[in-house]
Amino acid sequence: MFSSLMLVSLLVLTLPIMSSIFNTYKNSTFPHHVKNTISYAFITSLIPTMMFIHSGQETIISNWHWMTMQTLKLSLSFKLDYFSMIFVPVALFVTWSIMEFSLWYMHSDPYITRFFKYLLTFLITMMILVTANNLFQLFIGWEGVGIMSFLLIGWWYGRTDANTAALQAILYNRIGDIGFIMAMAWFLFNTNTWDLQQIFMLNPNLTNLPLLGLLLAATGKSAQFGLHPWLPSAMEGPTPVSALLHSSTMVVAGVFLLIRFHPLMENNKTIQSLTLCLGAITTLFTAICALTQNDIKKIIAFSTSSQLGLMIVTIGINQPYLAFLHICTHAFFKAMLFMCSGSIIHSLNDEQDIRKMGGLFNAMPFTTTSLIIGSLALTGIPFLTGFYSKDLIIETANTSYTNAWALLMTLIATSLTAVYSTRIIFFALLGQPRFLPLTSINENNPFLINSIKRLLIGSIFAGFFISNNIYPTTVPEMTMPTYMKLTALAVTILGFTLALELSLMTHNLKLEHSTSVFKFSNLLGYYPTIMHRLPPLANLSMSQKSASLLLDSIWLENILPKSISQFQMKTSILISTQKGQIKLYFLSFLITLTLSMLLFNLHE
């Protein structure tokens, strides 16, 4: 019953794709079909989830034996455990809301049916990823979400920036895939399998190499520091794409992979320290970059990147279940933040610069409400959604035996979260309007309002709901000094106060020439500027020189022939005293010869 219902809900998702060969694809009701399909799949998947919560019994469904290569058996197997059973309904709920939102947002797009087909294909590959029991199936899902991300970021392919951003996403993800394949190869060699059960049972000892590979894969897919520039550039895609892929589902795939391998990671202290430091650097760096951006979607993208860094930090302190909880709660409010920004953008006639927004507090009350609640949930205000995961993470990090520098970075990034959230609210909502007088502000569409309303209720209640209904896994720290318990709240309130004070104080002052700190933050720490120009130039020029110059001009020309001739000329100029009077020399030779002939009678 349990397994068949789960398989039904996954299968239902594939129906609209398969129906694209029939006539329903050409209709204008295809998007509605897709949205309804996802809502049915969501409701169907709730039943197995509730059964799972009630009984705590995990399931593995191994269906179809694909092939056996000597000792390796590959089959289609679904792992329905704690992580996938809770993630699937959450992802389906968020996707349902986003589909409904994109019915409003992409209404005037002529290829809206293709858009929905792409979104649905993405969702299917994401489901394959989270329910995979062996690494091969996971890799299928992994690559699938990468491809769909490419197609969706470059949706408006007439725009150069969109094409560049899509290509950038593919390239950075590919670098992470190298790590993934290295891990797969190691597991194949050392544990003879790609099945997760066998890997965990064998519990190999020296897991540094595969876990490094998996960490690299997570760095690529989840935009950690070093492979992060693709995420802000991916905002070139439409807002529903940003809401679905680059906030809730695709970018958490890397974190999900590390969470899946937590039995191996909890034995390897080195990898845990690496993960912790990487996450801390990411969360602080992207929060600094978010402070001075002017595009509303880019600020939210950097916010996503910062929260992803926080999830990686949580894995680094050996709390995979808390990281997973943060994935689920983060999906709600981040998707809602993106949808609110989409509502603002559309209402102001495609204006994305926050310096040209303002005064929307009275003009768009519903969007204002949801934006403020989303930001509060993001910063972890007590008893909203974000609190249940974020506050627990900060508390656990404070009370665990961990790297103090990483902890400090995380706390600073938490306060910066409040700062840039205040910046969004201040610039977009408060004050006097800075947009053009002829406005088309309208948020009356039921699609828009219903979808945001659903996620709004999720943002407020989902944290409470989920954390009270899941079974206990790792025990959180129960007792700690009062100041430690209040640390997260204190830095957040500090961030809010500071940001509001600064904004109000400098609101009417003239902007002076940019300081170097501002430029550092605005140009993303100069990372894209350096890394997109210097290494490619160095590589290409080195390869050109080695291909054309090395063999031909150096080995064949310069080493022996030219060097010998240069050497001879230099030394002969150095040590000779001649004047080059050849005729004199020849004449003296002749006279000497003649004289010797005459004097010594040699011919006799």
Nearest 5°: phi and psi at 536?
A: -60, -40
The span of 147-155, 374-382, 452-460, 580-588 binding other proteins (CB under 8 A) equals: 580-588
**How many C-beta neighbours within 10 Å does residue 501 have?**
11
Q: Which is nearer to other proteins, 270 or 596 (CB)?
A: 596
> 382: which DSSP letter?
T
Does residue 567 touch other proteins according to CB under 8 A? no
Q: To 5 degrees, how large is the angle CA 115–CA 152–CA 114?
A: 20
Tokens 């979607």 appear where?
297
Instruction: Give the chain's length.
Output: 604
Nearest 5°: phi and psi at 205?
A: -85, -60
Does residue 580 touch other proteins according to CB under 8 A? yes
Write each residue from 463 to 482 as x if it is in contact with other proteins (CB under 8 A), else as -, in one continuous string: --------------------
Q: Which is nearer to other proteins, 507 or 562 (CB)?
A: 562
The span of 149-157, 304-312, 407-415, 586-594 binding other proteins (CB under 8 A) equals: 586-594
> 195: which DSSP letter?
B
What's the half-sphere exposure (Cβ side, CA atoms, 13 Å) at 562?
A: 8
Under DSSP, is residue 363 helix (H, G, I), strand (E, B) or coil? helix
Q: How far is the CB of 568 from other proteins (least distance, A)?
A: 11
Q: How far is the CB of 583 from other proteins (least distance, A)?
A: 6
The span of 122-130, 236-244, 473-481, 576-584 binding other proteins (CB under 8 A) equals: 576-584
Tokens 């039943």 appear where?
47
> 134: which DSSP letter?
B
- Both tokens assigned to 506: 């400098």
**β-bridge mates for residue 75, sequence order:** 65
Q: How far is the CB of 532 from other proteins (least distance, A)?
A: 49
Q: How far is the CB of 577 from other proteins (least distance, A)?
A: 5
Out of 546, 553, 568, 572, the only residue in the binding site for other proteins (CB under 8 A) is 572
Nearest 5°: phi and psi at 212?
A: -65, -40
Out of 160, 432, 479, 577, the only residue in the binding site for other proteins (CB under 8 A) is 577
Cα separation of 596 and 163, whole Å? 91
The span of 112-120, 189-197, 210-218, 579-587 binding other proteins (CB under 8 A) equals: 579-587
Q: Which is nearer to other proteins, 504 or 584 (CB)?
A: 584
Max Cα distance, the chain (Å): 131
The span of 172-180, 348-356, 530-538, 582-590 binding other proteins (CB under 8 A) equals: 582-590
The span of 47-55, 92-100, 239-247, 587-595 binding other proteins (CB under 8 A) equals: 587-595
The span of 207-215, 345-353, 490-498, 569-577 binding other proteins (CB under 8 A) equals: 569-577
Q: How far is the CB of 178 from other proteins (least distance, A)?
A: 55
Tokens 């002529």 appear where?
110
Q: To 5 degrees, how large is the angle CA 375–CA 379–CA 385?
A: 80
Q: Which is nearer to other proteins, 509 or 575 (CB)?
A: 575
Q: Using CB under 8 A, count the residues that bind other proteins.
A: 14
Q: How far is the CB of 552 from other proteins (least distance, A)?
A: 23
Under DSSP, is residue 435 helix (H, G, I), strand (E, B) or coil? coil
Q: Which is nearer to other proteins, 111 or 585 (CB)?
A: 585
Q: 310 and 413 in contact (C-beta within 8 Å)?
A: yes
Q: Which is nearer to other proteins, 507 or 570 (CB)?
A: 570
Cα separation of 308 and 231, whole Å? 11
Out of 157, 185, 586, 596, the only residue in the binding site for other proteins (CB under 8 A) is 586
Q: How far is the CB of 530 from other proteins (least distance, A)?
A: 49
The span of 188-196, 203-211, 392-400, 570-578 binding other proteins (CB under 8 A) equals: 570-578
Q: To 5 degrees, how large is the angle CA 78–CA 79–CA 84?
A: 110
Name 329's Cβ contacts closer than 8 Å, sequence gap at least 6. Answer: 377, 385, 386, 388, 389, 390, 462, 463, 466
Q: Which is nearer to other proteins, 551 or 597 (CB)?
A: 597
Out of 108, 205, 468, 578, the only residue in the binding site for other proteins (CB under 8 A) is 578
Does residue 590 touch other proteins according to CB under 8 A? yes
Out of 156, 587, 595, 596, the only residue in the binding site for other proteins (CB under 8 A) is 587
Q: What is the number of helices (H) and of strands (E) in the chain?
A: 28, 2
Cα separation of 208 and 193, whole Å? 18
The gap from C-alpha 64 to its chain's centroid, in whole angstroms, comes to 33
Does residue 579 touch other proteins according to CB under 8 A? yes
Q: How far is the CB of 597 from other proteins (least distance, A)?
A: 10
Q: Which is nearer to other proteins, 517 or 584 (CB)?
A: 584
Q: Which is nearer to other proteins, 185 or 569 (CB)?
A: 569
Q: Where are the alpha helices (DSSP H) in 156-251?
A: 160-191, 196-202, 208-221, 230-233, 239-243
Q: How far is the CB of 555 from other proteins (least distance, A)?
A: 24
Write each residue from 518 to 557 as x if it is in contact with other proteins (CB under 8 A), else as -, in one continuous string: ----------------------------------------
Out of 64, 70, 583, 602, the only residue in the binding site for other proteins (CB under 8 A) is 583
- Both tokens assigned to 286: 């992207």
- Both tokens assigned to 87: 């993630």
Q: How far is the CB of 549 from other proteins (least distance, A)?
A: 26
Does residue 601 touch other proteins according to CB under 8 A? no
CA distance to 300, 405, 414, 540, per residue, from 393 (Å): 21, 16, 11, 45
Name 591's Cβ contacts closer than 8 Å, sequence gap at least 6. Answer: none
Would you tell me which residues interact with other proteins (CB under 8 A)? 572-573, 576-580, 582-583, 586-587, 589-590, 593
